[in-house]
Structure 1
């Protein structure tokens, strides 16, 4: 029951009841209702933004997020399997196919490198599960790049296989001077004593001692790139480009039997032994280049010498003696 309030009437010297006007009662009631509604609305908004109160929409979204996480988990497991398969193919590609065709392996960093664009994944940032989505996307990109590189590599291997006969004919596979014409194998590939300075320096080919005028043979099919004496130290020399990264050089010739631009076959006579240029005596200086790098010619004589002859010439080639140029 509401309290009755009084006020003191000084004129009549008596206490009288305070009568509340009806409009005031309605005003207070309306104010109470508005305040209650506002308070209820605020409480509702707060509850909506707390983890303790979830709407049906929130529950549906949460279930979808969990399903997406599960799908990402399955996707990562499948990528694990794919990565193992791709790694096995890459291993065979580098160590079997490319070795068979004597082609350089594809570096690991080229196969598995990511993408350098810093803003490539910017759209994936700023979400609750950003790291999961980001890591999966990056793995997928790297795997896609690996597959693309491997696909191109296998296309290249297929091309080499189709051109196998040409490749085998192009590889320098015989000695440039026949064994019966040799006096001796004077100097091999590696560090040797320079005949002029007596200093120890890299000898980038093999020296075959023979009489002046002894025939010199092309060691593989190719095109004569040069037949001149303009390179310092080599005197009269011939360079043959065989293709597939192979190139051979024949130096100190007494005369030529070819010209630049001529196509030659393995076994064709391209010149004759001499002692022109920086030379100590009649001999052939022979070099083999693969992909721009000098390699040991001793590895390329399997086409016309026996195993016994190979062992004998290998022992001579590995002696650290004095070269003839």
Structure 2
């Protein structure tokens, strides 16, 4: 039932009923509807700040999922990078050292990418920084993997050649232990027996009877087999890998120039030719065209005790035989 409103009439001293016109009722109704609509709209605007549409919810879940996968991918990339770093260190300090190869510098392994902006197409998005950084990390890691792969290919190739190299490096005494009288003079400053002056003795002298067999200390090629004023009858063998050996003062040369020899092959006999004070073999080892102490190249047939005894004898500054 609609409310009836009254007003007090002082003339009649009585209450009179207020008559509401239809036009006013319509006006009041419209104003009320507009108010309700306005309140509803404002409420929707306010609530929309706290409530998500199904599309927004789906987008938010997708973004959270992407961030989670990004974190997992970043973690896996870091783990892969750690494994690669360990492999790089072993490659440089174990594999390449063992095969006498130069280590790969960090500047080469971890070099970036210069030139134009490679990531321009990834700019302008809400998460561009995150995407660009991840792409850069992947590119750098990929490059490091390529460098390491090429290095391992090189190591495999060196390993295939290692057996040949080990067979070529001088590794035995050129005279058998039972044939040797004694190690007469070692590497270093020695008194020359003929010139009677202190001179650098670039090899080792092994005394033995004339005609004692002399053997190649490693695989190689005979590059010289003739006579010289100083060394008398002499043989030079190129072993490759920077190594060369010299066998001097022979009584007879067996090897021929250009001949391929293997470790232990007979190449001549002990003698007293050239500038020599007594029958002996003067033996030298050269690495990269520089003479080095031969005592470190007998590991193929000396026991530790024999090596220590020879090392002690070689350090005595006695007179050389040539």
TM-score bracket for the superposition, by shorter chain length: 0.5 to 0.7
Counterpart pick for 2:102 among 98, 107, 114: 107
Q: Partners of 1:293 and 1:137 in 2: how far apart? A: 45
Number of aligned residue pairs: give it: 251
Q: Match for residue 184 of structure 2?
A: 186
Q: Match for residue 257 of structure 2?
A: 260
Counterpart pick for 1:240 among 237, 242, 251: 237
Superposition CA RMSD, Å: 4.0
In the alignment, is the contact (CA less than 8 A) between 2:252 and 2:268 conserved in 1?
A: yes
Q: Deviation of residue 113 (structure 1)?
A: 3.8
Which stretches in structure 1 are left out of the alignment for 5+ residues? 1-58
Q: Deviations over 1:228-276 (max 9, x none)?
A: 235x743321112334554321122233112102233433331222344
| Alignment of structure 1 residues 1-325 onto 2, 5 Å | 75-94=77-96, 98=98, 103-104=99-100, 106-108=101-103, 110-114=104-108, 120-124=114-118, 137-138=139-140, 140-157=142-159, 159-160=160-161, 164=163, 169-189=167-187, 191-195=188-192, 196=195, 198-199=197-198, 201=200, 203-229=201-227, 233-243=230-240, 245-290=242-287, 292=289, 294-325=291-322
Mark the CA change 1:227 to 1:187 in structure 2 (over 3 Å): closer, same or farther. same
Mark the CA change 1:147 to 1:197 in structure 2 (over 3 Å): closer, same or farther. farther
Which stretches in structure 2 are left out of the alignment for 5+ residues? 1-58
Q: Partners of 1:287 and 1:205 in 2: how far apart? A: 4
In the alignment, is the contact (CA less than 8 A) between 1:248 and 1:286 conserved in 2?
A: yes
Structure number with larger C-alpha Rg? 2
Q: Partners of 1:271 and 1:240 in 2: how far apart? A: 12
SS where residue 123 of structure 1 aligns?
coil
Mark the CA change 1:123 to 1:197 in structure 2 (over 3 Å): closer, same or farther. farther
SS where residue 252 of structure 1 aligns?
strand
In the alignment, is the contact (CA less than 8 A) between 2:191 and 2:318 conserved in 1?
A: no
SS where residue 154 of structure 1 aligns?
helix
In the alignment, is the contact (CA less than 8 A) between 1:111 and 1:146 conserved in 2?
A: no
In the alignment, is the contact (CA less than 8 A) between 1:212 and 1:273 conserved in 2?
A: yes
TM-score (norm 1): 0.60
Q: Partners of 2:69 and 2:284 in 1: how far apart? A: 62
